[in-house]
Amino acid sequence: MNMSKVMFGFFVLLAVTLNFGFFIGDIDNPQHHDVYELFAALVVGLIATVLKFGERSQMGAILLASSLVVNLHLIAAVIVWAVAVHVTGTGLTPKVMASIVSLSGGALLANLVSLVLLTLDTAGLSRR
Amino acid sequence: MSNPANSSLVFLFLRRMRLPLTVLILAYSIATLGFTLIPGVDDQGNPWKMNFFEAFYVVSYTGSTIGFGEVPYDFSPGQRLWTMVSIYLTVIAWLFSIGSIISLLQDPAYRRALRRVRLARQVRDLDEPFYLVCGYGDTGRMLTRALTDRGHQVVVVEHNQDKIELLEVEDFEATVTAFCMNANLPDNLVEAGLRSRWCSGVIAVTGEGHVNLKVAISAKLLNHKVAVYASADTRSEAENMRSFDTNHVVNPVEEYQRRLELAIDKPDLFRLYHWLNSGPHARLARHVAIPHGKWIVCGFSRVGRAVWQLLQERQMQVVVIHPDPEQSGCPPGTVPGRGTLAEELSAAGVEGAVGIVAATGDDADNLSILITARALNPGLFHVVLENGLSSHALFRAAEPDFLGQPSSVVAGTILSRISSSLVEPFTRHLLQQDNDIARQALAGFLRHQSDHPPQLSSGRISAKRTPALARALQAGSVITVGKLLADPRDWQQRLQLEVVFIRRQQQDILFPDDDFPLAMGDRLLLAGRDGEADRLRAALENDERLEYVLTGRDRQQGLVWRWLERHSG
């Protein structure tokens, strides 16, 4: 029972699930997408990325790459939200909401790739 | 091809930063979240909560200890409480992260790895021929200095950190890249640039023969084109190195033997050979006549044994002084002791001896033997072995008659061979000559210079290297050695240069006469003042200059002038 592997798997899975939770719902309805969940998805995503640092294997490299993509998308979503609501005063129009949710959708895809790779890695280990 | 060491440094850094970064992210996110949840009051007294944007803004300038103030409205007590929590959380997280970074950068292993990556990159970026010197003792230092003075780049591999630090503060004429690693490992040699196409030579002069052997083998196997010069401690090591086609193997003991033998049998040849093979700053030895009679040898080391054998073969009586006669296989009649005490020397018969050899492994002992023996018998001939150059001033002050320095012997022999591949056959032929020829040759050199030894260089007469000379030879003119050595600036004068050796397919000619004719394909070995060989080479490339050198006629250059010259008579 490797504690660091438990932590690693926990954070990766948590990142995927929070991201999915935010994404699901009507793409242009602000009621369906809670800002706290976006916040949580971003924070856990960042932590998951940091945990993937320093891996030398090919698998580790792709995992890190996919994590960085997730962070990119989520940070972009946060910036769109902040700029639309606080800076330009546009507010959460359906168009803005749709942009935010699409960006989080992209992040979700990258998270899924991460999850699949993690599963493959685990499956590979168990065969040995 | 990515450099594994380089990326491993980055990975090491990232791994160490995992915990600090996680702590930082958590601290900021907890603080931000708290601010969005804790209720405040706006300027009208209505309840108000911060949104994420404002919360992150506040946390940002709190965590970086800037502290603008309470925006947009004054904080409620709850918010102020949370501000306190944020301050301690974020500032401590920052201190922890920065502390981790600093401790990693100060880690000696990390800094060494960083240094090696930087050096490896420096070696990869070398685009000039360089020499790889393994071992930075006295010999390595002398070689590095001589090679850089000639303008070659040098890469040094040395195990001892102190010697590397010494190297870094020295000022060299060319770039010297120094690696602090063990030359015994072939991977290290590859990292130091062994496989680079610019590596012209590998010189293995660490203090240990078996390491030199390993370096010689690795060099020849990993890079066929490189020339390898190595120093061997024992005969078996030397043979082993030669079996791997090492270009030149120097065995200091054999060199001493050879030089002492020459000094006894052919003193002028000894002076010439010693002058040419002791480095670029060697002085010509004085005329010394080694006396015949009874000799005392102190220290039955490899050198001591070689000298003993040498003297015995010349029918001289030799008494040995050695600390432990039975253990070391000393000959019968050996006096036990080190030779530093007057009683030991008297027991060996120093009063009736003609010469003494101080060949122990300790410099202080050797000096002591010298001084004690001189006190007992002022007319004694002293041969002293100097083991390390650190006491050199003392040895010079003691003025022995014959001083043996291992580092200059090894370095000098290697340096002369590096100058040209013709030096090896030249030396072989030279050592077979008798004393008179050597004396003549020495007189020839002394006409040009006496302060430091002649510079050796070689060249081939071919259409590519010396086009003008090749054309002249093909046209049928007879060009002799003497004619070639006229000064390109003044035909009546002679260059301060000698042609000492010519190699042709069928024959080797040592010290050719001035009227010896040259042919196409000849390889010449030149010896003379620095720079003279380059002047000769320049003359051999240009038709007009060559004609001036050969005949003294100053031909006009350029079509117009030549047409005018032809038509004016």
Q: What is the pLDDT of residue B114?
A: 85
Nearest to B362 by CA among B301, B421, B272, B284: B301
Q: Quote the tokens at residue B161.
A: 């950190």
Confidence band for B402, pLDDT divided at 50, 70 and 90: confident
pLDDT tops 60 at residue B171: yes
Q: Which of B18, B29, B36 sits opposite A43 (nearest CB)?
A: B29
- Residues 58-117 of chain B with CB under 8 A from chain A are none
**A85 CB within 8 Å of a chain B CB:** yes
Which residues 6+ apart lie within 8 Å of B38 measured at CB? Answer: B49, B50, B76, B78, B79, B81, B82
How far apart are the C-alpha atoms of B522 and B173, rounded to whole Å? 34
User: Residue-wise over B281-307: b if at least 16 C-beta within 10 A, else e?
Assistant: eeebbeeeebbeebbbbbbbbbbbbbb
Q: Do B52 and A51 touch (CB under 8 A)?
A: no
Identify whether the C-beta of residue A96 lies closer than 8 Å to the C-beta of residue A80.
yes
Residues B254-287 pLDDT 10s:
888 888 888 888 888 888 888 888 888 888 888 8
Judged on CB neighbours under 10 Å (0-12, 13-18, 19+), B161 is: exposed
Confidence band for B1, pLDDT divided at 50, 70 and 90: very low
Q: How distant is the Cα of B62 from the closest Cα of chain A, in angstroms?
A: 19
How far apart are the C-alpha atoms of B83 and B288, rounded to whole Å? 92
Residues A3-15 pLDDT 10s:
888 888 999 999 9
Q: What is the pLDDT of residue B389?
A: 67
Between B528 and A67, whose confidence is greater? A67
**A46 CB within 8 Å of a chain B CB:** yes
Identify whether the C-beta of residue B22 lies closer than 8 Å to the C-beta of residue B45.
no
In A8-125, at which residue ranges do the beta strands (DSSP E only) sit?
Answer: none
Confidence band for B420, pLDDT divided at 50, 70 and 90: confident
**B17 CB within 8 Å of a chain A CB:** yes
pLDDT tops 90 at residue B491: no
Q: What is the pLDDT of residue B2?
A: 40
Element at B50 (helix H, strand E): none
pLDDT tops 70 at residue B419: yes
Contacts within 8 Å (CB) and 24+ apart, B425-434: B425/B501, B425/B503, B425/B508, B426/B500, B426/B501, B426/B510, B426/B525, B427/B273, B427/B277, B429/B501, B429/B508, B429/B510, B430/B269, B430/B272, B430/B273, B430/B510, B431/B258, B431/B262, B431/B269, B431/B273, B433/B269, B433/B510, B434/B266, B434/B269
Identify whether the C-beta of residue B293 lies closer than 8 Å to the C-beta of residue B316.
yes
CB atoms within 10 A of CB A58: 8
Q: Do B15 and A53 touch (CB under 8 A)?
A: yes
Residues B318-338 pLDDT 10s:
888 888 877 777 788 788 888
**B3 CB within 8 Å of a chain A CB:** no
Q: How distant is the Cα of B26 from the closest Cα of chain A, in angstroms?
A: 8
Q: Quote the tokens at residue B361.
A: 């492994």
How far apart are the C-alpha atoms of B36 and A125, rounded to whole Å? 43
pLDDT tops 70 at residue B540: yes
The torsion angles phi and psi of B392, rounded to 5 degrees, stand at -60, -40
Nearest to B467 by CA among B530, B527, B402, B546: B546
pLDDT tops 90 at residue A122: no
Mean pLDDT of chain B: 86
B8 contact residues in A (CB cutoff 8 A): 56
DSSP secondary structure letters along B176-243: EEEEES-TTSHHHHHHTTTTSTTEEEEEE--S-HHHHHHHHHHHHHH-TTSEEEEE-SSHHHHHHHHH
pLDDT tops 70 at residue B556: no
Distance, CA of B275 to chain centre = 20
Identify whether the C-beta of residue A22 lies closer than 8 Å to the C-beta of residue A104.
yes
Judged on CB neighbours under 10 Å (0-12, 13-18, 19+), B233 is: middle
How far apart are the C-alpha atoms of B259 and B528, rounded to whole Å? 23
pLDDT tops 50 at residue A128: no
How far apart are the C-alpha atoms of B212 and B208, rounded to whole Å? 6
Strand partners, B403: B384
Residues B494-523 pLDDT 10s:
888 888 888 888 888 888 888 888 888 889
**A58 CB within 8 Å of a chain B CB:** no
A47 contact residues in B (CB cutoff 8 A): 22, 25-26
How far apart are the C-alpha atoms of B523 and B456, rounded to whole Å? 13
pLDDT tops 70 at residue A47: yes
Q: What is the pLDDT of residue B58?
A: 93
**B26 CB within 8 Å of a chain A CB:** yes
Orientation angle between helical segments B267-276 and B435-448, nearest 10 degrees: 50
Mind spelling out the 3-state secondary structure of B515-557?
CCECCCCCEEEEEECCCHHHHHHHHCCCHHHHHHHHHCCCCCC
A50 contact residues in B (CB cutoff 8 A): 17-18, 21-22, 25
Q: How distant is the Cα of B31 from the closest Cα of chain A, in angstroms?
A: 12
Nearest to B438 by CA among B285, B313, B239: B285
Q: How distant is the Cα of B504 from the closest Cα of chain A, in angstroms?
A: 59
B15 contact residues in A (CB cutoff 8 A): 53-54
Q: Do A47 and B53 touch (CB under 8 A)?
A: no
Residues A65-114 pLDDT 10s:
999 999 999 999 999 999 998 888 888 899 999 999 999 999 999 999 99
β-pairing, B335-336 vs B402-404, is unpaired
Q: What is the pLDDT of residue B266?
A: 87
β-pairing, B199-204 vs B130-134, is parallel
Q: Quote the tokens at residue B385.
A: 């072995």
Residues B63-97 pLDDT 10s:
888 988 888 888 888 899 999 999 999 999 999 99
Q: What is the pLDDT of residue B42?
A: 85
- The residue of A4, A18, A35, A39 whose CB has the most chain B CBs within 10 angstroms, and thus the best one to mutate to test that interface, is A39
Element at B497 (helix H, strand E): strand B497-503
Identify whether the C-beta of residue B207 lies closer than 8 Å to the C-beta of residue B410.
no
The overall longest dimension of chain B from CA atoms, in Å, is 121
Q: Which of B22, B33, B52 sits opposite A47 (nearest CB)?
A: B22
CB atoms within 10 A of CB A127: 5
Q: What is the pLDDT of residue A125?
A: 64
Question: Once rounded to an integer, what is the mean pLDDT over residues B438-450?
Answer: 86
Range with lowest mean pLDDT among A17-26, B121-130, B480-489:
B480-489
Residues B449-472 pLDDT 10s:
878 888 888 888 888 888 888 888
How far apart are the C-alpha atoms of B93 and B24, rounded to whole Å? 5
CB atoms within 10 A of CB B255: 18
Nearest to B251 by CA among B232, B267, B272: B232
Confidence band for B569, pLDDT divided at 50, 70 and 90: low
Residues B186-236 pLDDT 10s:
999 998 989 988 999 999 999 888 999 999 999 999 988 899 999 998 888
Q: Do B11 and A50 touch (CB under 8 A)?
A: no
Q: Do A47 and B52 touch (CB under 8 A)?
A: no
Q: Which of B11, B17, B21 sits opposite A56 (nearest CB)?
A: B11
In B61-194, at which residue ranges do the beta strands (DSSP E only) sit?
Answer: 130-134, 153-158, 176-180
Judged on CB neighbours under 10 Å (0-12, 13-18, 19+), B64 is: exposed
The torsion angles phi and psi of B12, rounded to 5 degrees, stand at -60, -45
